[in-house]
Structure formats: C-alpha cells, structure tokens
Structure 1
Amino acid sequence: MKRIDIYYGGQHYSVSGREYEDVRQEILGGLASGQAWLRVNIGEGQDVPSDLLISPGVAISLVPIAAT
C-alpha cells in the first residue's frame, strides 16, 4: 500500500508506512476509549505532521491508495 488518505473535517490528510487495518483498529480503539489522537500528515510535497482528535460523532473516512 502506498498510503492511506484520510478525510476529516472537510480536509484531506494522509498516513504512509502503515497498514490500513492497523489505522482502522487504532481509530476504533480511540472511539472505544472516548477519544484519542491520530498522527497524520498534511501538505503537498513536504508532509507536515498533524494530529486529529478522534471522538464519537466526528466524521472520518479512510481510503487505501495502492502502490502502482
């Protein structure tokens, strides 16, 4: 897998170097705990680390992007 695109709060973020299912399970674990931070990247070209607050009621989408 090349990366995982994440859509959160109307913005586009990404995660690389991780498996889709691991990120999904981390999000589910954070929801089960009430809230958690998820480390992602934002930016084009040079990624800038960012943290998203995962909590109930906040829409988040994961899109696996396969390596070509």
Structure 2
Amino acid sequence: MAKRVDVFYGGRLYSVGGRDIDDIRAEIGDALVRGHGWLTVNDGEGVAQSTELLITPGVDITLAALPGDAA
C-alpha cells in the first residue's frame, strides 16, 4: 500500500492517506458510471483538512502513489 496517493485536480494538489490507488481508481470509475460523485481527499500540509472533490466526466484528475516505507 502506498504511504499516500497524491491527487491532482483543477490544477491543485490534494492527497489521500491509508488507501490503495486501485481502490481510489475504482471509486472514481464508479462515480463516472453514475454520472458524478464525490471523492474525499485531504487539502493542505501539516494538519490536513477533509475536502470533497466533485468527479464528473471531462474533469481532469491524476493520481500518483507515493511508496511507503519498506517493511
């Protein structure tokens, strides 16, 4: 599992911790099948603030997994 997944949306950087990138991809795919949906992400550095991103067709979103520590 990644340490976190960076989410680039609307020209801004957000992050998601504690989730696998494949799980996030599936959630985005499901939202697009329904026509729209919300993705919960963290905004800010240090103390993260929970934020909802509206996922709709035609909105650019990029995911980048940051590897965690090797166990």
Shift of 1:67: 1.2
List alignment gaps of at least 5 residues for structure 2. Answer: none
Q: 2:50 and 2:18 mapped to 1: Cα distance?
A: 14
**Counterpart of 1:50?**
51
**Counterpart of 1:17?**
18
Aligned residue-pair number: 68
Larger radius of gyration: 2
Give the letter for the 1:27 counterpart: I
- In the TM superposition, structure 1's runs of 4+ consecutive aligned residues that sit over 4 Å from their partners are none
- TM-score normalised by length of structure 2: 0.93
Q: 1:32 and 1:67 mapped to 2: Cα distance?
A: 31
**Counterpart of 1:60?**
61
- TM-score normalised by length of structure 1: 0.97
SS at match of 1:29: helix
List alignment gaps of at least 5 residues for structure 1. Answer: none
Q: 2:49 and 2:11 mapped to 1: Cα distance?
A: 18
Q: 1:15 and 1:44 mapped to 2: Cα distance?
A: 12
